[in-house]
């Protein structure tokens, strides 16, 4: 069969068009498959990221979290009461302000407690997950109780810091003069400006710093001796010293770094008063040691707080 040149060109043209159509179908199918694969890949990545996020969340959980707490009766109870308030443990309802780790009835996070002398708790912070630290020791360690704590006691705490004296001396002119100075507006303002919430005055009606019932003339040239912890007690007393100096009374402050000697030296009569402790601690100390010390005034509260050591958030306890 003989075909003309025109017919040949027509046949070739038709074949080319068929090939283009086939190639178009193949290309469209390929693009469709690629889109499906890409979508599946995104879903896989999303799932992977979700799994990773979940894994990360789970990794924030820590088994057997360790928390350092003060080992003296009242401060340990105070630390445990804070942890109970935060929802991490449950204490026996009858334990009260003498609670110890033995009074924990529910410990869902399997917390391990490291009982340490109160002044040393900041020193072990880096070795534990968390530590519950008294504000005075936190401040001495360079921690800001308001900014650095992960949870803190309210200012309505029953653990206000007191001016303690030997029983029978609380109404002497010396003690009343010192009490009036510590209950002054000048001291309340000093506490507020210097500690910015880390220490809070508990004096409801601050005075001018003087007590009208005191015979200040008879106290001229007299010395009042007080045993105190360095921060914030000695610093507050340094401000009170200025008020007493207006009446020619010398306030001599000796700093102690333990919780025993300040009470012993007041009991023995070596010092007129001390300023370092809260009333629950004093009452327990009297009971344990047969001392006869009483509170002459409550001046301030130092909210106890929980601080992060190895853990920087409270996520490990969620």
pLDDT in tens, the chain (318 residues): 455 544 544 554 455 555 555 555 555 555 555 544 444 444 444 444 444 444 444 445 677 899 999 999 889 999 999 999 999 999 999 998 889 999 999 999 999 999 999 999 999 999 999 999 999 899 999 999 999 999 999 766 789 999 999 999 999 999 999 999 999 999 999 999 999 989 999 999 999 999 999 999 999 999 999 999 999 999 999 999 999 999 999 999 999 999 999 999 999 999 999 999 999 999 999 999 999 999 999 999 999 999 999 999 999 998
pLDDT value of position 154 = 76
Query: To 10 degrees, the CA torsion angle through 192, 194, 197, 198?
Result: -140
Q: Is residue 3 part of a domain?
A: no
Q: Is residue 103 part of a domain?
A: yes
pLDDT value of position 301 = 94
Are 123 and 183 in a shared domain?
no
Are 279 and 164 in a shared domain?
yes
Are 201 and 272 in a shared domain?
yes
**Domain of 143: which CATH number?**
3.40.190.10
Q: Is residue 99 part of a domain?
A: yes
Are 72 and 202 in a shared domain?
no
pLDDT value of position 158 = 82
Please give the residue range of the domain that contains residue 26.
9-37
Are 168 and 259 in a shared domain?
yes
pLDDT value of position 50 = 44
**Domain of 217: which CATH number?**
3.10.105.10
Q: Which residues, in sequence order, are bridge partners of residue 294? A: 165
Are 174 and 137 in a shared domain?
no
Are 255 and 309 in a shared domain?
no
pLDDT value of position 156 = 65
């Amino acid at each position: 069969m003989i075909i003309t040149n025109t017919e040949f060109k027509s046949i070739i043209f038709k074949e080319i068009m068929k090939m283009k159509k086939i190639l178009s179908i193949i290309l469209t199918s390929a693009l469709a498959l690629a889109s499906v694969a890409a979508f599946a890949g995104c879903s896989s990545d999303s799932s992977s990221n979700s799994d990773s996020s979940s894994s990360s969340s789970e990794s924030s959980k820590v088994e057997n979290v360790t928390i350092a707490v003060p080992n003296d009766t009242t401060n340990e109870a105070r630390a445990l009461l804070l942890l109970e308030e935060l929802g991490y443990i449950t204490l026996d309802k009858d334990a009260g302000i003498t609670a110890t780790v033995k009074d924990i009835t529910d410990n869902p996070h399997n917390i391990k407690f490291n009982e340490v002398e109160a002044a040393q708790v900041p020193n072990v912070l880096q070795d534990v997950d968390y530590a519950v630290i008294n504000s005075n020791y936190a401040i001495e360690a360079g921690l800001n109780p308001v900014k650095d704590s992960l949870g803190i006691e309210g200012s309505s705490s029953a653990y206000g810091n007191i001016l303690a004296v030997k029983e029978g001396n609380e109404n002497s002119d010396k003690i009343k003069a010192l009490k009036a100075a510590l209950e002054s507006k000048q001291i309340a303002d000093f506490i507020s400006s210097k500690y910015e919430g880390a220490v809070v005055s508990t004096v409801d009606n601050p005075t001018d710093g003087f007590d009208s019932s005191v015979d200040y003339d008879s106290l001229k040239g007299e010395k009042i001796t007080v045993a105190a912890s360095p921060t914030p007690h000695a610093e507050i007393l340094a401000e009170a010293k200025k008020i007493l100096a207006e009446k020619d009374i010398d306030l001599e402050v000796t700093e102690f770094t333990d919780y025993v000697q300040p009470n012993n030296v007041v009991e023995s009569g070596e010092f007129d008063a001390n300023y370092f402790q809260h009333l629950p601690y004093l009452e327990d100390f009297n009971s344990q040691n047969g001392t006869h010390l009483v509170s002459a005034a409550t001046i301030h509260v130092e909210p106890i707080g929980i601080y992060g050591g190895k853990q920087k958030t409270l996520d490990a306890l969620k």
